[in-house]
Copies of this chain bind each other. A is one copy, B any other.
Amino acid sequence: MIQIGLLGFGTVGSGVVELIQKNQSTIAKRLGENLEIKKILVRNLNKKRLFSSEEKITDDPAKILGDNEISIIVELIGGDEPALTYIREALLAGKHVVTANKEVISKHGKELLDLAQKQGVNLFFEASVGGGIPIIRPMKQCLAANEVIKIMGILNGTTNYILTQMTEKNKSFEEALWEAQKEGYAESDPAADINGSDAARKLAILSSIAFNSRITPDQVYTEGIDSVNLIDINYAKELGYRIKLVAIGKRHGNEVEVSVTPILLKEKHPLASVSDAFNAILVEGNAVGRVMFYGQGAGKMPTASAVVADIMDAVRTRSGNRIYCTCYDELNIMNPGHSISRFYLRLRVTDKPGVLSKISGAMGENQISLSQVFQKNTMDHTAEIVMVTYEVPFENLQNALEEIKAYRQVEEISSVIRVEEES
C-alpha cells in the first residue's frame, strides 16, 4: 500500500481522488501496488465537502509533510507560495513529489530538481504542461537520442478556444471571450491566458528540457491575443492562413529563440487544425524529424490522468532510474529583435496619393521586401492596407514601423503578426 499526501483539493485534487477510486483495479494490476490517499491538505476546514473520509482532511501541512508513512506528496495547490515551500519541505523530508504547478516548475525547476537529486528522491511534473497530453516524459525519454531543432506548441486552451470561435463562427474577440467564459474554458479573470503568460511558463519548461538549458518565463518574448481582430482572422483566411497563439522554441547554434505570439499558420500546417480547447506540441528532432502530441491541455480528468500516471512512476522509481535536471548547457537567449520571420501588417491610412509609396519606401530602406500588398478603401477617405513581407529580422520591421507611424497619412498600425513559413 503506497501512502500519498495530497496538497490541495480543488478541481484537479478532486479529480485525482476520483480517478484513483474509479480505475483502482486497473491501476493496482498494472502497478502491482495499491494507492491510498492518506491525508489531504485544504485551506479551510469549514468548507463542506462531499467526501467520505473526513478524517483525511487537515489544514495543517506539517501533519502531512511530517508523516513518515507518506512516501509521495502530490502538490495541486498551484501558484508560487506556499506551494514552493511545501515542495521543498517534501523533498527535504525524503518524499517523492508529483506536481502540476507550472509556475513553480518554470521558475524554480532547476533548483528543485537539484534538491531532489541531492535527497535521492524524484520530482515529476508531467501535468504542468499540456494537461493530460504526454509530453514531458516523451521528451525526456523517448526523444532522448535527438538534438531538438525546434518546438512549436499551442499550449493554452482558453486562447485557442477564443481564436477558434472567431475563425469558425465569425465572432468578435469580445463575443468569443464571453462564449469561452460561459462554456468554462476561460476564468473570470482570464488575463494570464489572454496575455500569453500561461503559455510562456509552459514554453519555458518545454524549452529547458528540449535544449538542455535553463530557460525561465521572463526570458520568453511574449505577446497575447488581445490585439488579434476579427478583421485579421478573415484576411488571414483569404491569404490561406489560420491565426493561432503559438509558443516557439528554436535553436540557432549557441542561442535559443523563445517566444509566444499570435502567428499566421498555413492552412495545411499540423497546428492549424488544432481547434477549441485542444493543445498540441510539435517537436522537430535531428533524428526523428517531426513528431506531434495532441490532446486536451486542461480539465479535471485529463490533468488527473497525468498526475496519477506520475504517481505510478514515482512508485516504480522508488529505488532508482531517475532523470534529474538536464540543463547542463548555458545557451544565450536570442535577442527578439534578431528573430527572423515573415510578417503580416494591417494599417489604416488616409486615402491620399503617395501614401503607399512612402510606406513601401520605408520598408525598402530597412531591407524589407514585400510579398503581397492590397488596399481596400473603406470610407471617409480612409483606406486599409494589408501587407505580407518576406523574411526579415524583427528589429528591421520595428524600425520601419517607427518611421511609418510618424507619417501624417498613417492613422494607425492596426496589426503586426508573424507568418510561419513552413507548413
Which A residues fall within an 8 A CB radius of B?
19-20, 22-23, 26-27, 29-31, 126, 132-134, 137-138, 141-147, 212, 270, 273, 285-296, 299, 301-302, 304-306, 308-309, 311-313, 316-317, 319-321, 323, 326, 328
Complex Cα distance, B321 from A20, in Å, reads 21
- Tell me if B29 and A309 are in contact (CB < 8 A): no
Closest to A20 in B: B145
Taking A19-B145, A288-B295, A291-B295 as given, write out 10 further A-B residue pairs in contact, using a Cβ cutoff of 8 Å, ordered by the A residue number.
Answer: A27-B145, A30-B326, A132-B289, A133-B288, A134-B142, A137-B138, A137-B142, A289-B295, A289-B296, A317-B321
| Contacts A141-B313, A212-B26 given; does A287 touch B270 at CB 8 Å | no
Q: B291 and A291: CB pair below 8 A?
A: no
Contact of A294 among B212, B286, B287, B291 (CB under 8 A): B291
A243–B19 alpha-carbon span in the complex (Å)? 37
Q: Are the CB atoms of B328 and A302 closer together than 8 Å?
A: no
B142 touches A138 (CB 8 A): yes
Contacts of A288 in B (CB 8 A): 132-133, 295-296, 301-302, 305-306
17 interchain pairs, CB-CB under 8 A = A19-B145, A27-B144, A132-B289, A137-B141, A138-B142, A142-B309, A144-B309, A145-B308, A285-B305, A287-B302, A288-B301, A290-B296, A291-B296, A292-B293, A292-B294, A317-B320, A319-B319
Most buried by B among A31, A287, A317, A320: A287
Point out the residue from B30, B289, B312, B313 that lies within 8 Å of A302, measured CB to CB.
B289
Contact A323 B319 (CB under 8 A): no
Cα-based distance from A308 to B285 in the complex (angstroms):
13
Chain B hits for A306, CB < 8 A:
142, 288
How distant is A281 from chain B, measured CB to nearest CB, in Å?
11
Nearest chain B CB to A2 CB, angstrom units: 13
Contact B144 A212 (CB under 8 A): no
- A283 nearest CB across to chain B (Å): 9
Across the A-B interface, the 7 shortest Cβ-Cβ residue pairs: A134-B142, A291-B295, A145-B308, A132-B288, A287-B305, A288-B305, A321-B321
User: In the complex where A293-B291, A320-B321 touch, is A23 in contact with B286 (Cβ < 8 A)?
Assistant: yes
| Residues in B whose Cβ lies below 8 Å from that of A319 | 319-321
Q: Which residue of B lies closest to A315 (CB)?
A: B321
* B328 near A323: Cβ-Cβ < 8 Å: no
